[in-house]
Amino acid sequence: MASVSTVILGTGSYAPARILTNAELTKMVDTSDEWIVSRSGIRERHIAAPDEATSDMAVAAARAALADAHLTAADIDLLIVATVTPDMPVPAVSCIIQAKLGLRTNVACFDLNAACSGFVYALDTASAMLTSGRYRRALVIGAEKLSAITDWKDRTTCVLFGDGAGAVVLGVSHEPGVGVIGTQLGAYGDSTDLLCVPKGGSSFPATAESIAAGDHFLKMKGKEVFKIAVRAMEEAARDILEHHHLRADQIELVIPHQANLRIIEAISQYLKVPMERFYVNVDRFGNTSSASIPIALDEARRLGRIKRGDYTLLVAFGAGLTYGSALIRW
Ligand code: COA
């Protein structure tokens, strides 16, 4: 049987115009630029306008990806949106995006929540659906308005997150050895409490008290998350390389989830891949969850950091706690 693989036909991203600097954050909570930069590497982040929803950012990123792929909305028959911040709990934001983009009605549309690993999970899902032969071209979007679930009075979290969206257009290729050549996903479901929005779901529906207590905002045990993140991302990277008989030095570019520069540096050290081969934009975006990898991927492509024949490794980690890696050959 002829080989069929999923290939990236185009990428796009969108960052809201408003930039929130560390200096501004020092006026909102008891923190300092020095603390934020030394602990996380973050210098600024983009924040969506009050009337700008996740779907608006997703649509902008998707339009850029379609233009890059020289395709139109009519060419898409599958839409997967990775997000933890849909416009509203129901319906799926993918349906709102479908309408705003003018996609056909006979397009499969759904959301996927694997938190910061969401884009890698969505890439794997779309790849399986495309290589099944039942779909031809997919739009996979990672989009987040984390500012909407951030407690701006909690200095331990509010300095870390940002808003934005990234998108890819996927198609299939019969050329052997190119495209999404492997993915690996997993989760530590026994650690859900380390990073969560504790109330507002079915186990604790929102009440006036829970809202007053800020329990519908993101809560994180940063130190514990840090340790598991480093281990999980290193393992996810190592395992996928081993599985495909590749050495770390054969990877031209690693695009890690952008949560914290120290996490990225630790992975670089453990994998023995120099930092020059890691794409880093956490300093300008903070952690944008599902959007972080597709934004970084789009920037890296536009900056010429990815050439034909290169191997790129995506590696992610997020609430759940989920993790995932994907290996792409261009
Ligand atoms: N400004 C100044 N001080 C702060 C602060 C801030 N924004 N946030 C916390 N602190 C204080 C703490 O209160 C603590 O003070 P104490 O020692 O008096 O109790 C001190 O700084 C150290 O806090 P700690 O949490 O131990 O810092 P840390 O070195 O672990 O760094 C994180 C904190 C959040 C940056 C780090 O744990 C981290 O990045 N974790 C992973 C987070 C992540 O990536 N999550 C997303 C995964 S997808």
Specify the pLDDT at position 318.
97
Out of 34, 38, 39, 116, mutate this one to test ligand 1's pocket (max ligand atoms within 8 Å of CB): namely 39
Specify the pLDDT at position 55.
98
Q: How far is the CA of 244 from the centre of ligand 1 (A)?
A: 37
| In contact, 126 and 140? CB cutoff 8 Å | yes
Q: Considering the chain, what is the average pLDDT of its residues?
A: 97
17 DSSP assignment: S
State phi, psi for 34 to the nearest 5 degrees.
Answer: -60, -45
Given a cut of 80, whether residue 1 has pLDDT beyond it is no
What is the rounded distance in angstroms from the CA atom of residue 300 to the CA atom of residue 280?
9
Given a cut of 70, whether residue 165 has pLDDT beyond it is yes
Q: Which amino acids are annotated catalytic?
A: 116, 257, 287
Given a cut of 90, whether residue 188 has pLDDT beyond it is yes
Given a cut of 60, whether residue 91 has pLDDT beyond it is yes
Q: How far is the CA of 35 from the centre of ligand 1 (A)?
A: 9
Asked if the domains 5-176 and 180-329 are classified in one and the same CATH topology, the answer is: yes
What is the rounded distance in angstroms from the CA atom of residue 127 to the CA atom of residue 122?
8
Q: How far is the CA of 160 from the centre of ligand 1 (A)?
A: 10
Residue 79, both tokens: 């839409």
Q: How far is the CA of 222 from the centre of ligand 1 (A)?
A: 6
Which residue's CA is the closest to the ligand 1 atom numbered 2? 31
More confident residue, 3 or 87: 87
Q: Ligand 1: residues whose CB is within 6 Å?
A: 31, 35-36, 39-40, 116, 155-156, 159, 220, 222-223, 225-226, 229, 259-260, 263, 287, 317-318
| In this structure, CATH architecture of domain 180-329 | 3-Layer(aba) Sandwich (3.40)
Give the residue extent of every domain in the chain.
5-176, 180-329
Which residue's CA is the closest to the ligand 1 atom numbered 36? 222
What is the rounded distance in angstroms from the CA atom of residue 203 to the CA atom of residue 159?
28
Out of 45, 226, 262, mutate this one to test ligand 1's pocket (max ligand atoms within 8 Å of CB): namely 226
State the pLDDT confidence band at 3, using cuts at 50, 70 and 90. Answer: confident
Q: How far is the CA of 262 from the centre of ligand 1 (A)?
A: 12
Given a cut of 60, whether residue 179 has pLDDT beyond it is yes
| In contact, 324 and 237? CB cutoff 8 Å | no
State the pLDDT confidence band at 133, using cuts at 50, 70 and 90. Answer: very high
| In contact, 286 and 160? CB cutoff 8 Å | yes
Model pLDDT for residues 189-216, shown as the tens digit of each residue: 999 999 999 999 999 999 999 999 999 9
Q: Looking at residues 279-305, what average pLDDT do you find?
A: 98
Q: Which residues contact 231 (CB under 8 A, 6 or more apart)?
A: none
Q: Which residues contact 129 (CB under 8 A, 6 or more apart)?
A: 78, 108, 135, 138
Which ligand 1 atom minimizes the distance to the CA of 225?
41
96 membership: H or E segment, kind and range: helix 93-101
Given a cut of 70, whether residue 249 has pLDDT beyond it is yes
Specify the pLDDT at position 118.
98
State the pLDDT confidence band at 2, using cuts at 50, 70 and 90. Answer: low
- Angstrom distances, CA of residue 291 to CA of 3, 4, 41, 82, 144: 30, 27, 18, 8, 6
What is the rounded distance in angstroms from the CA atom of residue 254 to the CA atom of residue 279?
6
CATH number of 5-176, picked from 3.30.450.40, 3.40.47.10, 3.40.50.2000, 3.40.50.150: 3.40.47.10
**Nearest residue to 65 via CA among 213, 165, 137, 167:** 167
